[in-house]
Amino acid sequence: MAASSVPDAVPGGEHESALSAVPAAGNRRATPMPAHLKFFYGPMDCGKSTLALQIDHNHARQGRHGMLLVRYDRSGRPTITTRVGLARDAVEVDDDTDLRALVRGRWAAGRALDYLVVDEAGFLTEAHVDQLAELVDDQHVDVYCFGLATDFRTRMLPGAKRLFELADELHPVHVEVLCWCGRPGQLNARVVDGVVVRDGATVVVADTGAASGRGPQDTEEDVHYQVLCRMHHRRGDLGADPAGTRGQLSLDV
């Protein structure tokens, strides 16, 4: 057999080829693939939680091992729920949860973990997001976050703000949500007894009467959320006529 006419590559030499730095087949564990921190955001009812469960399903089908996390799900339980009826059990994140310890505890128990799916990530603390970034950079764990960007006052939520600062990728969820007027719905209004409110507790989950900012357990207020365009959020216009026959279907927590 004739000898190859291509000289052996010498590191740093003139004959070093572009392929000489490619690791040998089967050697990927020696050079872990970089992980990513991704944030998928949008208003209520745009399908964020549904997308979260779909991504988990797709990764699991390829043999990857994940963990579902949630912060203040609409159900009030440690579950990722969707408005199309899907639901999966998840680990509830509270203020004192150290997400790094959570992952390392799973590894210490001999269980694989390749990725995290975090729903309602806008309600995470800044410390939580910093921990997620550390897991991505130092432990090569992929992190997929889903949530609102702003609260009912149109202010950035703490977790969302930090994710905008740190995430490798930002993805608006493009399932169209409409205001009652037909314009794109951008903002989430809190409606108490038929009126858009501008103050109160940032988080209202399940026990809406207690969390509406008017005192614990002392009212029987009707509290729900409604997606509005910027103009009608600013005006507090819910689109209902005096007979209550027009307007968007409210989105109960």
Active centre residues (catalytic)? 120
Which string of b and e fits 17-53 if b means at least 16 CB within 10 Å?
A: eeeeeeeeeeeeeeeeeebebbbbbbbbbbbbbbbbb
| Length reported for the chain | 253
One DSSP character per residue, 43-57 reads: STTSSHHHHHHHHHH
Pairing of strands 187-192, 223-228: antiparallel
3-state class (DSSP) for residue 68: strand
CA-to-CA distance for 223 and 195, rounded, in angstroms? 9
Residue with tokens 């997929």: 144
